Chains A and B, each alone.
Chain A
Amino acid sequence: MAEVRLENITKDFGRVRALEGLSFHIEDGEFFVLLGPTGAGKTTTLRTVAGLERPAAGRVLLGGEDATGWSPAQRDVAFVFQQYSLYPHLTVFENLAFPLRAPGKKLGAREIRRRVEEVAAKLRIESKLDNKATALSGGEMQRVSLGRALVREPACFLMDEPLSSLDAKLREGLRVELKHLQVELGATILYVTHDQVEAMTLADRVGVLVGGHLQQVGPPEEVYEYPDNLEVAQQMGHLPLNLFPVEEEAVRARGIDRIGVRAEHLRVLPEEQAGPDDLRAEVLRVERLGAEEVAFLRVGNRRLYAMGEEHGRFPDAGEVAVRVETDDSLAFDPSGRRLDRDPGGRGEAPPGGESPADAARRMARGLRD
């Protein structure tokens, strides 16, 4: 295993700039997740690290050495492709053994069989070893594709949304398994996904990529709680961020343009408990997901999303009171940058003014009127 470092990577496809000035590093043995929406440049980043794309500018360093000019084979990385890319004419066994038969490896047939069977057992595809790679379900193909990377002992693993086409149960199971394996092997993994749950659960550190720019890097909890900007805040949450435009001059004067409140921080109360600062909202729809539930609300012509954990908490229709209760609301300046970004200063009222939560509360009043 080795550390990976990207320095100022820029990559163009004709007129399209897929990556711009991308720099980050992954420590030896670290699980690094790159999170971003479709088209953000995640796949391009992985392909650049693997040597399948040549950057227009910048350097890729593997284990401290400049690998920018190296071929994919020289880089000795393992790649799990988004679209599996199994060898269709080989059996599952041969697919898994394929990288072990590379000229540099010089492994005996016995050793190859042992390793393949070990990985197959971990991924629960032992019974499929003699199948043709094309005679598998999508989930099985994805596991073979993972297995083909795991049999190797590469400098690092590159994984392009490897769990995206699995069903929810299997995805969760494999997620746990993958994290476990990574810890056990001490593997360096660059993992790409658009799913913030995967990012939160797997990552030692997460990087949020939007539009070819790396927005923020840090431990997942930190990025979740203290997003640098609006785009990061919207990526790190699986419901859309509730955004309130700020109209009051006193608040705007402090540079606050919008206030964001995550669905899980929006408190929904029965009408009779409503306080003077609370917002009245109409319930449009409630999705009960078992342990948690999501309410789709409307205030004026604005949509709000609220998430609660206890069953039977939201009424199915009618009016409710909505409270922006905590200091978890986020304040953004007109360019989308989050204000008051010092993690220690969380909830602290800026000198001579009210806290974002106060502002949100007051603004909620404004919405109601």
Chain B
Amino acid sequence: MSTPKPQAPRPRRRGFSDRSLAWFFVGPSVLLLLAINIFPLVWNIYLSFTNYAANRPGTPVRGMGTRNYERLLSQEDVWESLQHTAHFVTWSIALQVLLGFGLAWLLSRKFRGSGLWTTLIVLPMMLSPAVVGTFWTYLFQPQIGIFNAIVGLFTGTTEFSMIANPNLAPWAIVLVDTWMWTPFIMLICLAGLNSVPRDLYEAAEIDGASSWRQFWTVTLPMVLPFLMLAVLFRGIENFKMFDMVNELTSGGPGSVTELANIYLKREAFEKWRTGYAAALAVILFVTVFGFANIYVKVWNAVKQR
């Protein structure tokens, strides 16, 4: 019995260790995340440096270096689509903040039926954006559309088309988005307004502060973090806007409502310039990511105040 014993198996504990149990739970999500988020992102970055075209699977793929990016940045269309996006984001957010905050202000006064009004106002938000885009094409109909009929009451003319007129179409998409998403900003502002303790207003009133001063020193500082969060969500969403506008105008007339994402979809799935579109996707991603990061820094600073 002098032969060395084979190494005794280490005493095995029953079941899993904490760590392996943790991996067991987290693993599937990590794999899923890798498969549907990280891999496509990396693959997209790779494609952005090639001339790959998704409709010609057999043809050899050539590396293009940074040529896709160079072409993108010198392309008139791209800059125009970014301008359309900027116009759309800026105006839709500005209007939604004004209207959303105003409505929240009114509803926070808790009059009779304010709960019912809240529910009614929130309805548009519950609809699918594509459905909203589609039915607004009917509302904007010059002959039978109710929108034109209502404007006609005030101006006397119904012979105009919000979505066929290149001057009006950019405003049409702002209008529809505002109609749909003002309730979102309103809801978040309402939560903010309700978080203001009532006794602060009473203290201010006793200290002889006007309503205006109460608004600036009590209401606004307390609601601002809420409002900024809502603006962040809406900003990112509208920068990525596709579905509603695609249904409503498909980027037309001409290309006046061609937002960056609609342009992207054309390049990728109508012209099949996959590598080129991939490069644009990377640029959009970096832009929105950068803006959001800066914004969150500012937001944190405001919250700390």
User: From DSSP, what is the main secondary structure of chain A's interface residues?
Assistant: loop
Query: In the complex the two chains form, is A105's CB within 8 Å of B208's CB?
Result: yes
- Interface code A155-175, partner B: CB below 8 Å = 1, 0 otherwise? 000000000000000000000
The interface centre, meaning the residue of B199, B218, B222 with most chain A CB atoms within 10 A of its CB, is B199
Q: Which of B202, B205, B206, B217 contacts A90 (CB 8 A)?
A: B217
- For B197, list chain A residues within 8 Å (CB): 85
The smallest C-beta distance from A3 to any residue of chain B, in angstroms, reads 19
Query: In the complex the two chains form, is A79's CB within 8 Å of B203's CB?
Result: yes
Query: In the complex the two chains form, is A85's CB within 8 Å of B208's CB?
Result: no
A99: interface (CB < 8 Å): yes
B31: interface (CB < 8 Å): no
Query: In the complex the two chains form, is A52's CB within 8 Å of B200's CB?
Result: no
A244: interface (CB < 8 Å): no
Report the separation of the CA atoms of residues A331 and B76 in the bound assembly, to the nearest whole angstrom. Answer: 100
**Chain B residue at smallest Cβ distance from A105:** B208
B207: interface (CB < 8 Å): yes
**Chain B residue at smallest Cβ distance from A76:** B208
**Chain A residue at smallest Cβ distance from B217:** A87
A253: interface (CB < 8 Å): no
Report the separation of the CA atoms of residues A103 and B218 in the bound assembly, to the nearest whole angstrom. Answer: 17
Q: Which of B199, B202, B207, B222 contacts A89 (CB 8 A)?
A: B222
The smallest C-beta distance from A103 to any residue of chain B, in angstroms, reads 6
The smallest C-beta distance from B59 to any residue of chain A, in angstroms, reads 63
A176: interface (CB < 8 Å): no
The interface centre, meaning the residue of A72, A86, A103, A104 with most chain B CB atoms within 10 A of its CB, is A72
B residues 151-210 in Cβ contact with A at 8 Å:
197, 199-200, 202-210
The smallest C-beta distance from B103 to any residue of chain A, in angstroms, reads 24
**Chain B residue at smallest Cβ distance from A82:** B199
Report the separation of the CA atoms of residues A79 and B209 in the bound assembly, to the nearest whole angstrom. Answer: 14
Quick one: given A71-B205, A89-B222, A90-B217, are A83 and B210 in contact (CB under 8 Å)? no
Count chain B residues whose beta carbon lies closer than 8 angstroms to a beta carbon of A.
17
- For B62, list chain A residues within 8 Å (CB): none
- Interface code A113-151, partner B: CB below 8 Å = 1, 0 otherwise? 000000000000000000010000000000000001000
**Chain A residue at smallest Cβ distance from B214:** A87
Query: In the complex the two chains form, is B217's CB within 8 Å of A148's CB?
Result: no
The smallest C-beta distance from A72 to any residue of chain B, in angstroms, reads 5
A102: interface (CB < 8 Å): yes
- For A86, list chain B residues within 8 Å (CB): 203
- Interface code A78-99, partner B: CB below 8 Å = 1, 0 otherwise? 1101010111111000000011
The smallest C-beta distance from B208 to any residue of chain A, in angstroms, reads 3
B221: interface (CB < 8 Å): yes
Report the separation of the CA atoms of residues A73 and B214 in the bound assembly, to the nearest whole angstrom. Answer: 13
A112: interface (CB < 8 Å): no
A77: interface (CB < 8 Å): yes
A297: interface (CB < 8 Å): no
A50: interface (CB < 8 Å): yes
Given contacts A73-B206, A81-B202, 4 further A-B contacts (CB under 8 A): A85-B202, A99-B207, A102-B207, A102-B209
A-B contact pairs, 21 of them (CB 8 A): A50-B206, A52-B205, A72-B206, A73-B206, A76-B208, A78-B206, A79-B203, A81-B199, A81-B202, A81-B203, A83-B199, A85-B200, A86-B203, A87-B218, A88-B200, A88-B222, A89-B221, A98-B204, A99-B207, A99-B208, A103-B208
Chain B residues engaging chain A, CB cutoff 8 angstroms: 197, 199-200, 202-210, 217-218, 221-222, 305
Q: Which 8 A-B pairs have the closest CB atoms?
A: A102-B208, A89-B221, A99-B207, A85-B203, A85-B199, A73-B208, A72-B205, A72-B206
